């Protein structure tokens, strides 16, 4: 099965972009991904959200700024999210934040993105355990408090765990995509 995979991200300080590049490199090199699959990067500074319609699998990267605010490239296109048709698409997300400096708003933008697309008829994959993080509150956490809506990364306080977390999460995504492919 040939899949067109796209990583859409907004990045002010380049950390979200660096993770997008890691995701692309790791997926492209992964033997579990069929060779006829493509993985492309789309910086929201120059690419409209409407381009999401062209892909089968979407990985969305967003960072939280200050007191729970959206990253500027996402914010500039925020009103367009509801008009993007995600029906039938597989969607995973990752978020960047500072769990110590902004413990009451850790990954809030990830939660806002989750809620913005939650009514869409897409297949959501890639939830991530809250274990190993130290924060007070987050809009990116499920009601039971055990999961983030996507991969949680903190380049300020846990940069040494980013590579391992990205690799584990991508393996999880590949497993979840394989399970979805087996569904009728």
pLDDT at residue number 73: 97
- Burial pattern 78-117, b for ≥16 Cβ within 10 A else e, equals eeebeebebeebbbbbbbbbbbeebeebbbbbbbbbbeeb
Q: What is the pLDDT of residue 1?
A: 57
**Global pTM value:** 0.95
Please tell me the predicted confidence (pLDDT) of residue 182. 61
On whether the CB atoms of residues 23 and 75 are closer than 8 A, the answer is no
Q: Which CATH number do you get for residue 74?
A: 3.40.50.360
Cα–Cα distance between 163 and 158 in angstroms, integer? 10
Give the contacts of 124 (CB within 8 A, at least 6 positions apart).
91, 92, 149
What is the reported pLDDT for 184? Answer: 42
pLDDT of residue 35: 81
The DSSP H or E segment spanning 108 is helix 108-117
Count CB atoms within 10 A of the CB of residue 61. Answer: 32
Spatial separation of the C-alpha atoms in residues 121 and 158, rounded to whole Å: 34
In this prediction, the residues of the chain whose per-residue pLDDT falls under 70 are: 1, 182-184
- Separation of CA 40 from chain center: 14
Domain count, the chain: 1
- Quote the domain boundaries for residue 73: 4-182
Kindly report the backbone phi and psi dihedral angles of residue 7, in degrees, each rounded to the nearest multiple of 5, phi listed first.
-105, 115
């Amino acid at each position: 099965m040939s899949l067109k995979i796209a990583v859409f991200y907004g990045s002010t300080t380049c950390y979200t972009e660096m993770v997008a590049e890691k995701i692309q490199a790791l997926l492209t090199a992964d033997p579990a991904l069929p060779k006829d699959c493509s993985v492309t990067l789309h910086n929201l500074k120059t690419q409209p959200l409407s381009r999401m319609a062209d892909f089968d699998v979407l990985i969305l990267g967003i960072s939280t700024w200050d007191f729970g605010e959206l990253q500027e490239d996402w914010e500039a296109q925020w009103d367009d999210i509801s008009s993007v048709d995600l029906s039938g698409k597989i969607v995973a997300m990752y978020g960047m934040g500072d769990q110590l400096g902004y413990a009451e708003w850790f990954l809030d933008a990830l939660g806002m993105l989750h809620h913005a697309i939650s009514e869409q008829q897409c297949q959501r994959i890639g939830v991530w355990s809250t274990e190993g993080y130290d924060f007070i509150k987050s809009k990116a956490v499920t009601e039971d408090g055990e999961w983030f809506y996507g991969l949680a990364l903190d380049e300020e306080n846990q940069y040494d765990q980013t590579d391992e977390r990205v690799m584990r999460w991508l393996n999880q995504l590949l497993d979840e995509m394989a399970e979805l492919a087996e569904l009728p």
